[in-house]
Amino acid sequence: MTRLAGKTCVVTGGARGIGKAICAAFAAEGGDVVLTDIDRAGGTATAAEIGCRFLPLDVRSEADWTALAAAVPIADVVVNNAGITGFEESPGPHDPEHASLADWRAVHATNLDGTFLGCRFAIGAMKGRRAGAIINISSRSGLVGIPGAAAYASSKAAVRNHTKSVALYCAQQGWQIRCNSIHPAAILTEMWEPMLGDGPDRAERMAAFVADTPLKRFGLPQEVAAIAVMLASDEAGYVTGAEFNIDGGLLAGSAASPG
């Protein structure tokens, strides 16, 4: 369990969910983890549980990234994980016809601006060593249209594309700085709680959400973290500009697939 030994690993949105699982997996592999989150209380508690450092960071804030760069001038791995669907902040609507410009911008500010600033920070923190791994958490929603969450889908599609620009830019400079994206589908985290509820129909709702998923279940945050460990480690030294689906087989077929 030393695949990340000697590597400084910065993770955004690490207080809970997929980010927390990534921090725990990186620490278990010997990484020196810097867990960051906008949620100070949650981030402090999770970092204490894992046994790693916590630094507050709102991914939308350029000033916060500047402060992080002063505190962590050299990094080997950066995971841009912090993201929102938009429903936490505003009930919507979030469809292309009725969404407000404010709601559209709020989702892009966290998911896209946050990832842009995170990649920029990562390049600055990695170029001294001319090597490193940047991992952007996009979504399967970045690969298909989502009519009821248009800003989320748009922002995650842009994260996928920006990943490839960063990968090519770093390669052009002659650096071994790799940049890849992960595309999870339904992963059971707190993000889903408002949609699942805790009423008697919770199990029914859960089954309905994964009815079209070939593996017929939600994914686990630890299953996403396992891919992040692989991409962060030197085993993935020749992998850059790539995208990894973790979706229970959802995108393997389509409505047009014969039965």
Ligand X SMILES: NC(=O)c1ccc[n+]([C@@H]2O[C@H](COP(=O)([O-])OP(=O)(O)OC[C@H]3O[C@@H](n4cnc5c(N)ncnc54)[C@H](O)[C@@H]3O)[C@@H](O)[C@H]2O)c1
Tell me whether residue 126 or residue 149 sits nearer to ligand X (CB atom): 149
Tell me whether residue 154 or residue 189 sits nearer to ligand X (CB atom): 189
Kindly state the helix (H) or strand (E) to which residue 10 belongs, with its residue range.
strand 8-11
Distance (Å) of CA 125 to CA 4, 66, 75: 17, 11, 5
The contact pattern for ligand X, residues 191-220, with x = CB under 6 A and - = no contact, is x-----------------------------
Tell me whether residue 176 or residue 213 sits nearer to ligand X (CB atom): 213
- 137 is a contact residue toward ligand X (CB under 6 A): yes
Tell me whether residue 24 or residue 84 sits nearer to ligand X (CB atom): 84
Active site residue 152: yes
**Site for ligand X, residues 147 to 166, rule: CB under 6 A:** none
Tally of CB atoms within 10 A around 210: 18
**Site for ligand X, residues 9 to 38, rule: CB under 6 A:** 12-13, 15-19, 37-38
Half-sphere exposure of 199 (CA within 13 A, CB side): 7
Kindly state the helix (H) or strand (E) to which residue 103 belongs, with its residue range.
helix 101-108
Give the interface segment with ligand X, choosing from 24-32, 184-192, 206-214, 228-236 (CB under 6 A).
Answer: 184-192
- 39 is a contact residue toward ligand X (CB under 6 A): yes
Minimal distance, residue 173 CB to ligand X, in Å = 27
**Site for ligand X, residues 88 to 127, rule: CB under 6 A:** 110, 114
β partners of residue 32 = 8
Interface with ligand X: number of residues (CB under 6 A): 29
Alpha-carbon torsion 152, 154, 155, 157, what sign? Answer: positive
Contact 228, 182 (CB under 8 A): yes
Tell me whether residue 30 or residue 42 sits nearer to ligand X (CB atom): 42
14 exposure class (CB count in 10 Å sphere: 0-12, 13-18, 19+) = buried
- 189 is a contact residue toward ligand X (CB under 6 A): yes
Which of 68, 158, 166, 187 is in the footprint of ligand X by CB under 6 A? 187
Widest pairwise Cα distance in the chain = 57
Annotated catalytic residue: which of 26, 121, 152, 218?
Answer: 152
Tell me whether residue 8 or residue 81 sits nearer to ligand X (CB atom): 81
Which of 50, 72, 84, 134 is in the footprint of ligand X by CB under 6 A? 84
* Cα distance between residue 207 and residue 199, in whole Å: 14
Minimal distance, residue 56 CB to ligand X, in Å = 9
Contact 241, 180 (CB under 8 A): yes
The 3 state secondary structure assigned to 18-66 is HHHHHHHHHHHCCCEEEEEECCHHHHHHHHHHHCCEEEECCCCCHHHHH
The residues annotated as belonging to the active site are 152
Interface residues with ligand X (CB under 6 A) are 12-13, 15-19, 37-39, 42, 57-60, 81-84, 110, 114, 137, 139, 184, 186-187, 189-191
